[in-house]
A and B are shown apart, each in its own frame.
Chain A
Amino acid sequence: MRAIRRLVIRMRSLFTNERQEAELEREIAGHLSFLEDEFRSQGMSAEDARLAARRAYGGVDQVKQMHREERAFQGMARLTMDLRYAWRQLRQSPGFALMAVLMLALGIGATTTIFSIVEGVLLRPLPFPEPGRLMMLGDVLEGSNCAFCSQPRVTATDVRNYMRDSHSFTHLGGYQEVAYELSGNGEPLAIDAARMSGETFAALGTQPLLGRVFTQAEDDQNAPLAVLSYGLWQTRFHGDAGVLGKKILLARKPYTVIGVMPRDFAFPLIQGRLDQSQLWVPMSPEPWEFAAGSAASWRMRMVGRLAPGVTPEQAQQDAERVAQATMRDYPAFMSSLRIRAVVKPLREDTVNGARPLLRTLFFAVVVVQLIACANLAGLLLVRSIGRRREIAVRMALGARAGALLRQAVVESMLLSLAGGVLGLMLAWMALRVGVSLLPETLPRLQEIGLDWQVAIFALAVAVLTGFVCGLAPAFAAIRTSVNETLKQGGRTGTAGGGHTRLRTILVVGEIAVAMVLLTASGLLLRSFEKMREVDPGFQPDHTLAALYVLPLMHYATQDGIDRFNDQLLEQLRALPAVKAVGISSMLPSAGNSIGVSVIPDGYVSAKSEGLHMVAPSMVLGDPFAALGIRMLRGRAFTDADKAGAPLVAIVNHKFAEHYWPGQDPVGKRIRRGMPETVSPWMTVVGEVDDVKLGAADDKTMEQFYQPATQLVASEGALASAGELDADDGWIVVRSAVPPRQMEDALRSVVQRIDPQLPLYQMQALQDVVAESEAPRRFNTTLITSFALAALLLSVLGIYSVIAFSVAARRQELAIRVALGCRRTRILRLVLTSGLKVALAGCALGVLGAAAASQLLRSFLFGVSPFDPLVLGLSALGMLSVAFLASALPAKRAALVDPLLAVRSE
């Protein structure tokens, strides 16, 4: 209470200064006269008494000041005064002020924008309540090649067992991404969807926007229910609230719509992709999913919410116990398989891949911010030199050092705050524009907003810089003797060796760090180029690809499926301009490969080797010709390699080299499964070149191809009862015309055979390849944008420092000209000083780049961190912009009017 009362009075006294001052004056006068009276009564003369009274009282002005300080928030009154003064000062040199503010705004704006985008895309907490309690649960298959198991996956049996027997989760459920043909209202549509246990919705904890989600009981009872995504509800059902209760057809089976999820709900979260699930149906596993090959098929995933008080480690142990029990019940044909349970945060799963990039970006943010601050510091230094005389005059007139320092700090803080606020505004605008320009493939695009943490960080650094840089020059100015400075007269610009050195160091420093970023960006660009130079093993040009999935309801027999495939191939081949047609379960570059375990005949594996995981492709028609994959040995498949015929396979070069090094693989045999699995041998009839299944900078995998019609036969004990061959695949058409022109023809052929069947993801193969390059392109673009921001800022830095120092030296230059110095010499003088600084910065920058290379190594592909070409080019680039930045001030210096030498002073 007391404090508040005092505050109110103090605040009021801010505005009632004059009355208070007058009263104080009166009171002091009274006090002095009492003292005088007393001294007079002791027998002093009037004059002596007056002096004695003053002495006893103490400094009158000091007392007044103390009084005022006590009375008012003196700090605040002073601040408004200082602010007014700083404003006047800045108005007198608008060029300087504008430059400083813009520089900071640019730095803060750029870093905040770029980082906000990254944060929005990669780092936002998952859009679920208490995301930290959400865990992924899955198996690690011992001995399997982990290229196939970056995400822990589970089998249908696992889903059942973990849900039934683990006790660490309040809710735990499985899910699997699937592709469905959606029909029943309007055109058939291919959609991405997910099968989910009823428990999965409960685990995620998101409430539906409309209606409800299905329960575990409904899942168990195979209830045909569907929950729509907001997007699908809008596009397909026009946001109609009456959609609840409607019937839709999924793979031509009727389902009832019971709910619509909110707009920001996405699950499963797929990193780097926007085509998330559009619809969710109960998992309702079929009996065959627990038997034969499906029991050894890790194609589902699980997510659970940790029970209160349970740690991830405890959950892991609990899951491990269930995994052990599951393993004990393995059927004979998979008895050698060993699994380990893993429990890890869902967040880690979706965000993990972004960590190295994040570190690098943080580094980039800091660098750009440092450059912006170095610029501000440099500017303030230059300015302080020009103002030394003014400060000296003020000190000579009795200004206190403390007040001068305070004013200097207030001024630079004003600049940095203005720059910061403008920067945030720039960032906000850039984000609005940027989001609309970003590729739509980025996930959670709509969530991108200003990242306040980074914004506050940037602002804080700016203010700190303002404080330090404002203080330093003022300190320096105060330290220099008033006399000296005043004697030096107008030529202060040329003096102050310490300042010049500090300024030069700052510019050298910022060029150096800009060089580091420039080099990093150069290395990434070069890696990108290298990746594009990689021979992917196929020819993506002139090839159109589209996925089809035959709905089981209509294609319940192998005959029906075979008839569809035969007709498809035949009719496509008959199209004009078509050169080759194939169907393949694997599309190069699409990154959709799976891994299966095989046994190569006659290969004795080392104990540590574990499973022989390879990527299989089930093919029909002439996929090698359609995809442009080179045959190295043997023959391609023919129409004679069908169901019932001897089982055949084609392996890739890497496979052949691994298991039969230096030998002809043709005639060798392989079979599916583990050693204990009963499965028939397939004879290798050919060897083809290695193909990049994912991005070109990914590892090449061992592969084998087999006729899709022989799949079930080749699976032996792994085949499920009633399993059908070749009911889905990528149609690949190589044509003489651009693939775009083939789209309609392909669609109409499919519709002629089955008017309802939709095609998924129809794309030119070149676009698929481009998509596989997207992550690297994204990284490269990001770092390059930071590098450009850094470059721009350091150019401004060089420019401003040189321009201001030229301005300060104008008189000196004018004298030189007047004395007959040629203008070209002056031009050269200024340019050389700029280049010298740039050269030193580049040299340091190369060292810095070497130090930072470790951070970057994981992003490089086919390029050494010390690539001489990149280093050379960045240095050259830096030098040329430094040259340009000094050219303008140099020109101005050369044109200086010699009369200036006479005019002033």
Chain B
Amino acid sequence: MPSKDKNSMQLLQGTLDLIILRTLSAMGPRHAYQISTRLQQVSDSLLQLNQGTLYPALVRLEQYGWIKGSWGMTENNREAKFYAITKAGEKALAEEKARWRQMAGLVERVLLEEH
């Protein structure tokens, strides 16, 4: 059971997946540490998630067949598991992106109507 840090921003279901896919798609194969660093940069440290929280999402995406992990060496000669986005992953990313925009647009409209 993941304990939730109350101060950190709660991630919408599926958002984490989307961000990971987007990162891998834009920046090429990355290992988990790089992904989490990237996440923090992107979110301006608003997303104070424990770095380990990333792993279940990576497993899930790998099981979906959207990313693929393989062991390799980093520049400073450490071994790490590099994750790369697959073809199916690109397709899923496109779909998820569209869905997200649709959703965001909808929520935005609802919020505007309030005023």
Contact = CB atoms under 8 A, between A and B. Distances in A.
B2 A57 contact: no
Contacts of B50: 56-59, 63
Contacts of B33: 30-31, 34-35
A69 B56 contact: yes
B63 A63 contact: no
B55 A10 contact: no
Contacts of A56: 50-51
B75 to A, nearest CB: 12
B78 A66 contact: no
Given A6-B64, A34-B78, A63 B31 contact: no
B51 A35 contact: yes
Contact of A31 (B51, B59, B65, B76): B51
B47 interface: no
A62 B78 contact: no
Given A6-B64, A62-B2, A30 B31 contact: yes
Nearest to A65: B1
Contacts of A31: 31-33, 51-52
A421 to B, nearest CB: 34
B60 interface: yes
Contacts of B53: 58, 63, 66
Q: Which of A28, A35, A37, A70 has the most CB of B within 10 A?
A: A70
Interface string A60-81: 1011001101110000000000
A2 B55 contact: no
B81 interface: yes
A9 B56 CA distance: 14
B51 A66 contact: no
B13 interface: no
Nearest to B40: A56
Contacts of B80: 27, 30, 34
A57 B51 contact: yes
Interface string A1-44: 01001100110000000000001101110110111010000000
Given A35-B33, A58-B51, A59-B52, A70 B59 contact: yes
Interface string A145-175: 0000000000000000000000000000000
Given A10-B63, A30-B33, A31-B33, A63 B78 contact: no
A27 B50 CA distance: 15
Contacts of B32: 27, 30-31
A10 B62 CA distance: 11
A67 B59 contact: yes
B3 interface: yes
Interface string A323-348: 00000000000000000000000000
Nearest to B52: A63
Question: Which applies to chain A's interface (DSSP): helix, strand, loop or mixed?
Answer: helix
Contacts of A10: 63
B38 to A, nearest CB: 13
Given A27-B32, A27-B81, A5 B65 contact: yes
Given A30-B31, A58-B50, A67 B55 contact: yes
Contacts of B78: 30, 33-34
Contact of A71 (B31, B52, B59, B81): B59
B62 to A, nearest CB: 8
Contact of B64 (A5, A28, A35, A37): A5
A66 B52 contact: yes
Contacts of A9: 63
B76 to A, nearest CB: 8
B51 A70 contact: no
A736 to B, nearest CB: 91
A31 B81 CA distance: 9
Interface in B1-23: 2-3
Nearest to A60: B52
A30 B79 contact: yes
Contacts of B3: 59, 62
Contacts of A2: 64-65
Nearest to A67: B55
B55 A6 contact: no
Interface of B: 2-3, 31-33, 50-53, 55-56, 59-60, 63-65, 76, 78-81
21 contacts: A2-B64, A5-B63, A5-B64, A6-B63, A27-B32, A28-B52, A30-B31, A30-B33, A31-B33, A31-B52, A33-B78, A34-B31, A34-B80, A37-B76, A57-B51, A60-B52, A62-B3, A66-B52, A66-B56, A67-B59, A69-B56
Q: Sort A-B residue pairs by CB-CB distance and give the 5 closest, nearest first.
A: A58-B50, A63-B52, A34-B33, A70-B56, A58-B52
Interface of A: 2, 5-6, 9-10, 23-24, 26-28, 30-31, 33-35, 37, 56-60, 62-63, 66-67, 69-71
Given A31-B51, A35-B51, A63-B55, 17 more contacts: A2-B64, A5-B63, A5-B64, A6-B60, A9-B63, A24-B55, A26-B81, A27-B32, A27-B55, A30-B31, A30-B81, A31-B31, A31-B52, A34-B33, A58-B53, A59-B50, A71-B63
